Chains A and B, each alone.
Chain A
Amino acid sequence: MNKVLIVGEHDGKTLNPATAKCVTCAASIPDSEISIAVLGADTAAVAAQAAAISGVKTVLRVDRAENQHPLAAIFAPQIVALAADYTHVFGPSTSFGKDLMPRVAALLGVAQVSDLMAVVGAFQFRRPIYAGNAIVTVEADASKKLVATVRVASYEAAASGGTGSVESKSLTVTLPSHTRYVGAKSGSTDRPDLQTAAKVVSGGRALASAENFKILYSLADKMGAAVGASRAAVDAGYAPNEMQVGQTGKIISPEIYIAFGISGAIQHLTGIKDARTIVAINKDAEAPIFEVADVGLVADLFQVVPELEKLIG
């Protein structure tokens, strides 16, 4: 039996959909039994949400004042304590999981498989390297615990309707005081979350200013879409960092991705490869984005965006 512990990601109120995607991945491991750990100051609500994910047997709650904010140095020793009975420990490949899981792996003295995109066997997995230009199949030692981050763009979220049990755990783990949370600044909007949105409208350097990016926000709001940006647009200050899509930004898998004025550097394409339909609008007919686009339109985005907004209205 393979016992998989998934580290749940949440904001205190809502379980991040990345967690249900990790469950789908864990369920594809042969003969697996799945638990989710939720750490927080008060995890009653998110534990209930985790228990309702189909396929989850147990939810382990660790409520502690120090767990208010997800600091890797605080969470890692607790995850290690919880992991004793498990063969696999998974986290999402979000900024939360990517920060935390290697610390867990190192404390356990084992390797980590980053961005797990497919399960070949209980200890054999596929993952992208070189910005997705190559896919490697790796095999880990089955006698050791396996730590991994799950590439959430590769998995659909597991359905709800589960009836897992919830267990409160009190751990006697000494926590460090050398790392403290100060604050956060998020560009919170009413738009869907970029990581999980079904529709994404995205802009590149050709937008030419932060002011011009507003036409994409307007179109996105009409479509009910999230807004993304290329690295060039973020570096130029046209869009905030949390909107970056690509190798070093977010890897996403929407139903439709509409790229305006994005040339399509390989690092950007890495982030959108799993989109169901890619639409590219670019003045330059030679732009590499057309190589991967399902639908292309060679035109000036500043004419296309208002026209498109009118026609879909």
Chain B
Amino acid sequence: MQKLMVCIKRVVDYNVRVRVKPDGSGVMLDGVKMSVNPFDEIALEEALRIKERLGNIEVIAVSIGVADTQQQLRTALAMGADRAILVQTDVAVEPLTAAQTFLALAKKENPDLIFLGKQAIDDDANQTGQMLAALWDRPQATYASKVEINGEKVAVTREVDAGLETIEVDLPAVISVDLRLNEPRYVKLPDIMKAKKKPLDVTSMDALGVSVTQFLKTVKVEPPAQRQKGVIVKDVAELVDVLKKKGLI
């Protein structure tokens, strides 16, 4: 094993309460804190742990996005990635185009494994990893909660609706990670300084030969329907009364 690629998305920070724009054209992003998609952080952490365990492995962090996405890639470098590539674009990229872009990078870099989060917390699409694996004609192991590398094979335990499932895939492969795979490390100040000297290449979709296709047109964005505020009962007896009246118990 020589090379691991980790795909990272710049998203609205996990703690921000997102609000819809009054004109229904999208959500308010001005001045909002942006971060590395939390699932992608777990993906990077896993790649770094494999590097630390097996040694002599290069970890490349890649992303697609606006120029400021360099901030998230610098975070990835500070966490321990060896180098980074930004495919810079100002347009919002749909999962299939993202997968085509990562495929172009995979063909250049020939990684043994590509890690990414199972979904991004902005569009919640949960597609890019599976699409990348399909286009690359390689295995996919989604929702990983345990990754064991055995030579040219990887056993991946997956979080599925019924519990846990284990599959074995041949390298190279795409692994999309779930929440409980690991806990990402905190970045220390000296690492941030060191990360400034690590290579971060900026390229474009054009240079990679990928054309941006818009498959889905956004008609409008609305806030969700709100639930009515309910009643507060004083004790268990009253609670049981209310539920019995509703025919629920």
Contacts and interface: CB of A to CB of B under 8 A. Distances in A.
B132 to A, nearest CB: 8
Given A107-B134, A130-B121, A133-B18, A140 B215 contact: yes
Contacts of A71: 167
Contacts of A188: 162-163
A86 B130 CA distance: 22
Interface residues of A, number: 86
Contact of B169 (A103, A179, A231, A277): A179
Contact of B220 (A72, A136, A291): A136
Given A130-B12, A135-B221, A308 B167 contact: no
Contacts of B216: 111, 113, 138-140
B177 to A, nearest CB: 11
A250 B121 contact: no
A182 B96 contact: no
A131 to B, nearest CB: 7
A199 B246 CA distance: 13
Tell me what chain B mostly uses at the interface: helix, strand, loop, or mixed: mixed
A182 B224 contact: no
Nearest to B119: A248
Contacts of B249: 223, 256, 312
A178 B137 CA distance: 10
A284 B170 CA distance: 50
Lowest 3 CB-CB distances: which A-B pairs, in order?
A111-B215, A186-B163, A102-B130
Interface of A: 71-73, 76, 94-96, 98-103, 105-107, 109-115, 120, 124, 128-141, 144, 176, 178-188, 195, 199, 223, 231, 234-235, 240-242, 247-248, 250, 255-256, 266, 273, 277-279, 290-299, 304, 307-308, 311-312
6 contacts: A128-B224, A183-B166, A199-B248, A295-B230, A296-B233, A297-B234
